[in-house]
Amino acid sequence: MITFEHATVSYEDASGPALPTVDATIPEGELCLLVGPSGAGKSTLLGTVSGLVPHFTGGTLHGRVTVAGRDTRTHKPRDLADVVGTVGQDPLAHFVTDTVEDELAYGMESLGLPPGTMRRRVEETLDLLGLNELRDRPIATLSGGQQQRVAIGSVLTAHPRVLVLDEPTSALDPPAAEEVLAVLQRLVHDLGTTVLMAEHRLERVVQYADQLLLLPHPCLLYTP
């Protein structure tokens, strides 16, 4: 589903690459945990999958990154939006509406989906993520774990085949983190979604991983 072929990222005048050379393949329907110290290039690697790197960040992507057969060097984020969903560690910074239901619908409105399709997908996502009782709640009143579930749901309504997450549990207490990780496990096992996730707190997430991608160089793909 995701393939890195001699992929590396560099910026002009930088002393070294922002991302060391990566050669790896992440199969469909697996959860891959991206591991490495701060500054190793984890966020940069995630950006190459969504197309944010280099289309919005600048720099040069050498080698090749493909997602569902699409080369991210030639496909901008909007060209990948139906395949890749991205969730950051601070969902409040990216919400654009006030209530749970409106946030779930917003991404589909941007894609121009028919109202009937939007309604069906919102209901499916509310059920899948256990958000039915929160549908009318203001997002600002939700707990951290609930907000992260809404953030995941807001990209799931576009039915992406790949979900990219940058430290989704870093700001959460253990119960909220378990809540979010249970959702991710359900997406992988029940829907066959491919999940690529960077996380510092390995003790929380390593049990859920099918593979570990270790940074920095030499980059290794490891099956626990």
Where do the domains of the chain lie, and which CATH numbers do they carry? 2-93+159-222 (3.40.50.300)
How many residues in total does the chain contain?
Answer: 224
Nearest-angstrom CA–CA distance, 184 and 124:
16
* Most confident by average pLDDT, 65-79, 82-96, 209-223: 65-79
Nearest-angstrom CA–CA distance, 100 and 86:
18
CB atoms within 10 A of CB 138: 11
pLDDT tens, position by position, 48-64: 999 999 999 989 999 99
Residue from 10, 16, 65, 20 nearest 196 by CA: 65
pLDDT tens, position by position, 102-117: 999 988 887 788 999 9
Nearest-angstrom CA–CA distance, 133 and 150:
12
Q: For position 109, what pLDDT does the model report?
A: 82
The pTM is what? 0.87
Residue 217 has pLDDT above 60, yes or no: no
The mean per-residue pLDDT over the stretch 194-217 comes to: 88
Judged by average pLDDT, the poorest of 42-56, 81-95, 154-168 is: 81-95
Residue 221 has pLDDT above 80, yes or no: no
**Are 50 and 84 contacting, i.e. CB atoms less than 8 angstroms apart?**
yes
Distance of CA 9 to the CA centre of its chain: 19
Residue 203 has pLDDT above 80, yes or no: yes
